[in-house]
Amino acid sequence: MRTAVVTGGGSGIGKAIAERLKADGLRVATLDLNPPATEHSYKADVTSREQIDEALTRIRASLGPVTVLVNAAGLDGFKRFADLSFASWQRVIDVNLNGVFHCVQAVLPDMVETGWGRIVNISSSSAHSGQQYMAHYVSAKSAVNGLTKALALELGPAGVTVNAVPPGFIDTPMLRKAEERGLLGGTIEDHIQRTPVRRVGTPQDLAATCSFLISEEAGYITGQIVGVNGGRNT
């Protein structure tokens, strides 16, 4: 039985992915700044290597080596570029990009030793389309797509696949908060009318994609950016 770690597993997309992988029969642990009070949920800030390593020590002791990693922890932000503080820029890059660096490096020895691994990075469709007032976020998520491609080439020979899944417009607390603050350029309903499949995405849409990408059957798929966005970006 495989052991998976899902970052950002306390909410939205990460939570749905963790539930799906459990239902698929994996042992699943989650890392989150705000972990739910459930078994195998660990508090860790993905920007802190120390906190990640501490959590992984406990996870390995109870669930064994980690051979599946889904990086779903994320932090958005909306600010005109001219007003964007360097501290906000750094924090958004730190959580969305450096967090992936730390988590991949921390679990990689388990995958290399096993000769098998699956890494899925949840990036963002905004890396494809660009997004005004989100220069820091778009930059970080674009870099995650690039990191995914570089790692796929480097880790393929070790039996590890690395793919990115950029979501577009998924109904989660992150999206609802942005709507409440009037940051979406219209309501969710307005956006649905402009979405080819005429609905908002669900965390379960992402969970199904991850479930496939980490399966045995997906072993020939690596270095890919697999969009889940209802046709908003093609």
Ligand X SMILES: NC(=O)c1ccc[n+]([C@@H]2O[C@H](COP(=O)([O-])OP(=O)(O)OC[C@H]3O[C@@H](n4cnc5c(N)ncnc54)[C@H](O)[C@@H]3O)[C@@H](O)[C@H]2O)c1
Binding site for ligand X (CB under 6 A): 7-8, 10-14, 31-34, 45-47, 72-76, 95, 99, 122, 124-125, 167, 169-170, 172-175
Distance CA 108, CA 65 (A): 10
Q: Which is nearer to ligand X, 58 or 219 (CB)?
A: 58
State the minimum distance, in angstroms, from the CB of residue 155 to ligand X. 21
State the minimum distance, in angstroms, from the CB of residue 158 to ligand X. 25
Q: Which two tokens stand for residue 56?
A: 């992984």
Q: Which is nearer to ligand X, 31 or 160 (CB)?
A: 31
Tell me the one-letter amino acid at 77. G
State the minimum distance, in angstroms, from the CB of residue 146 to ligand X. 16
68-71 β-sheet, strand order: 41-43, 27-32, 3-7, 68-71, 117-122, 160-165
State the minimum distance, in angstroms, from the CB of residue 187 to ligand X. 14
Q: Which is nearer to ligand X, 114 or 179 (CB)?
A: 179
State the minimum distance, in angstroms, from the CB of residue 159 to ligand X. 26
Residues 6 or more apart in contact with residue 188 via CB below 8 angstroms: 169, 171, 175, 176, 179, 200
User: Annotated catalytic sites, by residue?
Assistant: 137
Dihedral of CA atoms 91, 96, 100, 103 in degrees, nearest 10, equals 60
Q: Which is nearer to ligand X, 153 or 197 (CB)?
A: 197
Q: How many CB atoms lie under 10 A from the CB of residue 121?
A: 26
Q: Which is nearer to ligand X, 72 or 152 (CB)?
A: 72
Residues 230, 199 contacting (CB under 8 angstroms): yes
Dihedral of CA atoms 98, 136, 29, 107 in degrees, nearest 10, equals -20
Tell me the one-letter amino acid at 148. T
Distance CA 127, CA 221 (A): 21
